Amino acid sequence: MDIKKENKKLIIKKDRCLISISNDITLTQRKVYNALLFNTKKQLLNNTNKRIFEIELTELEKIADIKNTNRVYLKKEIKELMTKTIEFDIIDNDDLNNIDYDVSTFISRVKIQKGVIQYEFSSLILQMIYKPNIFTLLELNQINTLTSKFSLALYEFLKDRKTFIPKISITDCKKMLIGDVELYTEFRNFRLRVLDVATKEITDKTDLIVSYELIKNKNTYTHIKFNAIPKEPEVITIKLENEIIEKIKEFLVKKDKSFDFDSRFEGVEFIKDNDNLIIKTLPELEYKKQWLIDNNFDKKIKNIIFQQCNITFKDVVLK
């Protein structure tokens, strides 16, 4: 499997029980684990009977976006995963029908030799990887930008519970974000160094705007209610928009010197929506949208910006 640098989306289908876990692992270990889940699912799709999986260290570094080039450090992080146990689904939720899972180690076996990792999972975790029960889709490219283990754990939880985010106890929240509930015993430190750090980084770097409310029982904080709102599509910067417009104008006028570009494209907006470029016309200018469709401008513009602007969009959509 060759993961190229061209912002290729890497998606994992992650079982809820592997998201709401006690976070007794490092940021690197969680990213590595996600990469191993991605790699394992790919290999299982090719061979459902496969039980020993392998991946090159260089490939693992790419998928997990590991910046630390110290291989001794990476090997140590991977080996430690084998010694740590997962406490599954620590957040109480009725929609799981009180299903109980056994405790398991993250990895049941690991061997690193000549730059290649061989590893195995318990049968329980393999089942979660191949046929997850309740799951969410996570984009590795996005979560790998997070630099705090608190942020990564919280982001996965919020994406998983996007339709309904339950209030959770302070104890469960600490387990889910930190692992060790005895850390940050002073609530002010927990709020400043964990909750505020995680919510700010997620809001700054991902597709969610996150906040939280603290719930008291008498004079003591007992629960937290997180709120997550999807961000609106990102509007292309003026510089980028102008570059696109100028290149399109140059191309079209060159083809037809009588082409009135300014009149034709007045009221047309260029909006970046994830990997797509949306060309949107104002509601009162529906005739312009039809004109763009009739003249195949989605394909023309995609070709222009790719060849002349050095900008790559997955698709160009007329709306």
Domain of residue 77 covers 1-143
Whether 9 and 131 share a structural domain: yes
Whether 75 and 135 share a structural domain: yes
How many angstroms separate the CA atoms of 28 and 36, rounded?
Answer: 12
Whether 26 and 136 share a structural domain: yes
Angle subtended by helix axes 71-83 and 27-46, to nearest 10 = 80
Whether 134 and 149 share a structural domain: no
Whether 134 and 164 share a structural domain: no
Give the predicted TM-score (pTM) of the model: 0.72
Task: Give residue-wise pLDDT tens across range 283-292.
Answer: 767 777 777 7
Structurally, how many domains does the chain consist of? 3
Whether 133 and 158 share a structural domain: no
Q: What is the pLDDT along the chain (319 residues), one digit of tens a residue?
A: 333 334 467 889 999 989 988 889 999 999 999 999 999 999 998 899 999 999 999 999 999 998 877 889 999 999 898 888 887 777 754 444 455 545 788 999 999 999 999 999 999 899 999 988 888 999 998 899 999 999 999 999 999 998 889 999 999 999 999 988 888 989 999 999 999 999 999 999 999 999 999 999 988 999 999 999 998 776 666 566 677 778 778 877 887 778 777 777 777 777 777 677 788 777 767 777 777 787 777 777 777 777 766 666 777 777 7
Whether 42 and 104 share a structural domain: yes
- Kindly report the CATH number assigned to the domain that includes residue 69: 1.10.10.10
Whether 151 and 130 share a structural domain: no
Task: Give residue-wise pLDDT tens across range 160-211.
Answer: 998 889 999 999 999 999 988 888 989 999 999 999 999 999 999 999 999 9
How many angstroms separate the CA atoms of 297 and 316, rounded?
Answer: 9
**Could you say which of 231, 260, 282 is where a domain stops?**
231
> Which structure tokens are listed for 67?
């910046």
- For residue 73, CA distances in Å to 30, 66, 67, 114, 172 come to 15, 11, 11, 16, 30
- According to the model, what pLDDT value does residue 147 have? 94
Whether 20 and 105 share a structural domain: yes
Whether 98 and 184 share a structural domain: no
